Amino acid sequence: MSMKVERLIEIVLLEMEGRNYARSTVETLRRQYKPMIRWFDERNDGNYDLDAHESYLRKYEKMLNDHLVTANHLQTIRRALNYIREVAETGNAKLSRQKPERQYQESAEAAHTINAALALSKMTDGDKQKSRILLSKFFCYIENKGLYVYDITVEVLIEFIHHVRTSNAGSMKKVIRALKAMADYLASVGIMAPLPDISFLTPRISRKIISAYTVEEATTILSSFDRDTPLGKRNYAMILLALGTGLRGCDIVNLKLSDINWESKEIRLIQSKTKKPLTVQLSGQLCNAIADYILDERPQSELKNVFLSSRAPFAPISTSALVRIIDTVHRKTDLSRKYWRSFHSMRRSFGTWLAKEAVPAATISQMLGQVKIDSSRSYISFDDTQISACAIGFDDIPLRGGAYV
């Protein structure tokens, strides 16, 4: 007998609350279930069935391919669907997570070699786990060619590097690290000659420059908020804070009332990511925007966070809410949805604008709260105006014939 999707969802959410799941986790799934209910209503009169389940999942897989949702968003959708499917099939909400099937399954001998190589390595546990996946891929590759551990040579490593340079374009340094760990192990047991360094084999990969928002685009974003409403006033203050200070989204949602010094017009906080203190200056416009929200629209609450949800029960907002705000702005305005643009692009915009004003990289790094100066490079977009100033003229080059433009 068919069950209504709303009833299945109710069972899932009650079970999560009974197990004391974090409120933010429960609310995240609750938000994902709302459009899901409409989907099943339109296709199966609100009843659950596997066809509607699969078509809903395929819809979001296509959106991922079109860069309209993130991989994390798709993972949340998949988990939400699996929970209600479990209730429909078993009658209980066990909230079990399906482990993804291993894409690469090497032989037992290869698995033993991988374990031995990683045990010898001084990599962190997290890096070892990533290397294990890459080495599994490597051994599947050579085993498909009829090769085994004792057949591995430098030439085989180079061939694999060229094989994965497209599929692993963004992680070639990790590929080299994994292969270096394997080569070191094979050298230690006498299978290969010592291999001091293979980092020079990393193929050059062209990287897409992810553009920041222009000043005009930022103005369009800010003007899209209806500041006569509590939600619009809150969102305006948060986006203006991101654009005007370069603060990370996690630091904005964790911002406390006590972090703001109104007399000196500055925010002093401990960064969530680096655990380092940071002081940022606030413009008069920023102070007014935050004060307007706190004094006029912020819900009465004992919570210390500046920015709270607009509906009861009031709670600190999540970073995913910031992403949804930007997604909504892009749908409402004519701003182009460029690849990888998200709330974090506000931080990139702040760094880019400073660079265009010829602010030194060291200063930009400090203002962004970076631990290392090199970390600020990814937040400073390409500036063709400054680059053109570096071009060498032809004034000192004598022309003996021909012409140039």
Query: Strand, helix or coil at 235?
Result: helix
Residue in the structure block whose two tokens are 């890459």: 134
Number of folded domains that form the chain = 3
Q: Report pLDDT for 257.
A: 95
300 and 268 within one domain: yes
344 and 222 within one domain: yes
The residue from 150, 169, 201 where one domain ends is: 201
Residue 227 tokens read as 């500041």
192 and 62 within one domain: no
Adjacency order of strands within the sheet including 260-261: 260-261, 266-270, 277-281
Q: Report pLDDT for 259.
A: 95
The residue among 365, 225, 27 whose CA lies nearest residue 238 is 225
**Enclosing domain of residue 80:** 5-90
293 and 246 within one domain: yes
The residue from 90, 123, 142 where one domain ends is: 90
276 and 133 within one domain: no
Q: Is 314 part of any domain?
A: yes
Q: Is 404 part of any domain?
A: no
CA distance 230 to 248: 23
120 and 253 within one domain: no
CA distance 94 to 5: 17
Name which residue leads in pLDDT, 268 or 24. Answer: 268
- Is the pLDDT at 85 greater than 80, yes or no? yes
Q: Is 402 part of any domain?
A: no
Residue 49 tokens read as 């069935």
367 and 314 within one domain: yes
**pTM score of the predicted model:** 0.52
Please provide the average confidence, as pLDDT, over all residues in the chain. Answer: 82
Residue 201 tokens read as 């084999």
Length of the chain measured in residues: 405
Q: Report pLDDT for 275.
A: 87
Asked if 376 contacts 361 with a C-beta cutoff of 8 angstroms, the reply is yes
DSSP symbols for 245-312:
H---HHHHHT-BGGGEETTTTEEEEE-TTT--EEEEE--HHHHHHHHHIIIIISPP-S--BSSB-SSS
Q: Is 103 part of any domain?
A: no
* Segment 39-65, tens digit of pLDDT: 998 888 888 988 889 889 888 888 887
Residue 141 tokens read as 């590759």
Q: Report pLDDT for 295.
A: 94
Asked if 150 contacts 191 with a C-beta cutoff of 8 angstroms, the reply is yes
Q: Is 102 part of any domain?
A: no
- Is the pLDDT at 173 greater than 80, yes or no? yes
43 and 170 within one domain: no
- Is the pLDDT at 107 greater than 60, yes or no? yes
Q: Report pLDDT for 29.
A: 87
Res. 400 pLDDT band, cuts 50 70 90: low
* Segment 311-332, tens digit of pLDDT: 878 888 888 788 888 888 888 8
* Segment 351-360, tens digit of pLDDT: 888 888 878 8
Write the CATH number for 328. 1.10.443.10
* Segment 220-250, tens digit of pLDDT: 999 999 999 999 999 999 999 999 999 998 8
> Phi, psi at residue 261, to the nearest 5°?
-105, 105
Q: Is 208 part of any domain?
A: no
Q: Is 333 part of any domain?
A: yes
Residue in the structure block whose two tokens are 């998200």: 342
* Segment 139-165, tens digit of pLDDT: 999 988 888 888 998 889 889 988 888
Q: Report pLDDT for 392.
A: 56
The Cβ of residue 158 has, within 10 Å, a number of other Cβ atoms equal to 13
Asked if 136 contacts 178 with a C-beta cutoff of 8 angstroms, the reply is no
- Is the pLDDT at 309 greater than 80, yes or no? yes
Encoded amino acid at 45, one letter: D
CA distance 77 to 68: 14
264 and 135 within one domain: no
Q: Is 210 part of any domain?
A: no
Query: Strand, helix or coil at 6?
Result: helix
Residue in the structure block whose two tokens are 């915009």: 349
Res. 291 pLDDT band, cuts 50 70 90: very high
- Is the pLDDT at 260 greater than 60, yes or no? yes
Res. 117 pLDDT band, cuts 50 70 90: very high
381 and 282 within one domain: yes
- Is the pLDDT at 393 greater than 70, yes or no? no
344 and 261 within one domain: yes
CA distance 253 to 57: 30
236 and 348 within one domain: yes
